Amino acid sequence: MNCFFADDHYGAYSGRHVFELLPEDFSRETVFTENSWSLLESGDWVKDCDLLALHMIAGTCGQPMPGAGAEKAVRAYCERGGDLLLLHGAGAAFWGWDWWRGMVGLRWVRPDDPDGAKPSTHPIVPCTVEVSKVRHPLASRLRRIELPADEVYTELEQVSPITVLMETAVNGRTWPQAYLATTPWGGRIAAFIPGHKPECTQNPDLITDITELIQWLKNK
């Protein structure tokens, strides 16, 4: 079983759009929830979850912050070496938890950041997401993506070692857009940042690249 927790991302429903276009064999094995933390809080998913996918930023979109039950469950999942798929802003999925902020590779920094880090930014511009020059076998399976004007996440804070798989150039600088990392307990993190508007989250090349990350995570 896989678990995919999403918020509505300010009415864009980005996580839902991505989930609906993922391969049937993945969606058939996945519990998808949107704007509801009851399952997350319960911890009932932890034992049987093979992959935890997130497309959310806690405390946004009119949703309450996940509580102590959610933190206990996510921590238990991570401590048993569970793998994570972090989509769009999900590096900040649980930004209120100290241990989470320090392990996600790159994190979106909110204006009210508990650590006082400089906030991240997302200029809205067209972009080309290129495959990075990196010697990782997964890179050869990824596709270059041309995206119309949309949020491009920049100035994220690096909090742990990463392998950058994809990147884009905005305002004269290059910014990671897909990467791999490892949790302190040996779980693998695959993160894919682009995609807010439906015309981007429904881009076939974007869906292909997310699918490749999922397949890499699932093939242990």
pLDDT tens, position by position, 140-149: 999 999 999 9
Question: Under a CB-based contact definition with an 8 Å cutoff, are residues 13 and 61 in contact?
Answer: no
Question: Under a CB-based contact definition with an 8 Å cutoff, are residues 168 and 174 in contact?
Answer: yes
Query: Tokens representing 13?
Result: 């429903």
Longest dimension (CA), the chain: 46
pLDDT of res. 177: 98
For residues 183 and 162, what is the distance between their CA atoms, to the nearest angstrom?
11
Question: Under a CB-based contact definition with an 8 Å cutoff, are residues 50 and 158 in contact?
Answer: no
For residues 195 and 42, what is the distance between their CA atoms, to the nearest angstrom?
29
pLDDT of res. 210: 98
Other beta carbons within 10 angstroms of residue 133's beta carbon come to 8
Q: Where residue 58 sits, what CATH number does that domain have?
A: 3.40.50.880
For residues 116 and 98, what is the distance between their CA atoms, to the nearest angstrom?
12
Site of tokens 């400089």: 118
147, amino acid identity: L
Pairing of strands 173-182, 188-192: antiparallel
Query: Tokens representing 147?
Result: 């995206």
214 CA to centre of own chain: 11
37-62 exposure pattern, b = at least 16 Cβ within 10 A, e = fewer: beebbeeebbeebebbbbbbbbbbbe
Question: Under a CB-based contact definition with an 8 Å cutoff, are residues 81 and 116 in contact?
Answer: no
pLDDT of res. 154: 97
Please state the pTM of the whole predicted model: 0.97
pLDDT of res. 64: 85
pLDDT of res. 198: 96
pLDDT of res. 63: 85
Does residue 117 sit in helix, strand or coil? coil
Question: Under a CB-based contact definition with an 8 Å cutoff, are residues 166 and 130 in contact?
Answer: yes
Query: Tokens representing 196?
Result: 């807010």
pLDDT of res. 65: 85
Per-residue DSSP letters for 101-132?
HTTSSEEPPPTT-TT-PPPPB--EEEEEEEEP
pLDDT of res. 49: 98
Spans in the chain with pLDDT lower than 50: none
pLDDT of res. 62: 85
pLDDT of res. 3: 98
Total count of domains within the chain: 1
- pLDDT tens profile 198-215: 999 999 999 999 999 999
Range of the domain at 43: 2-218
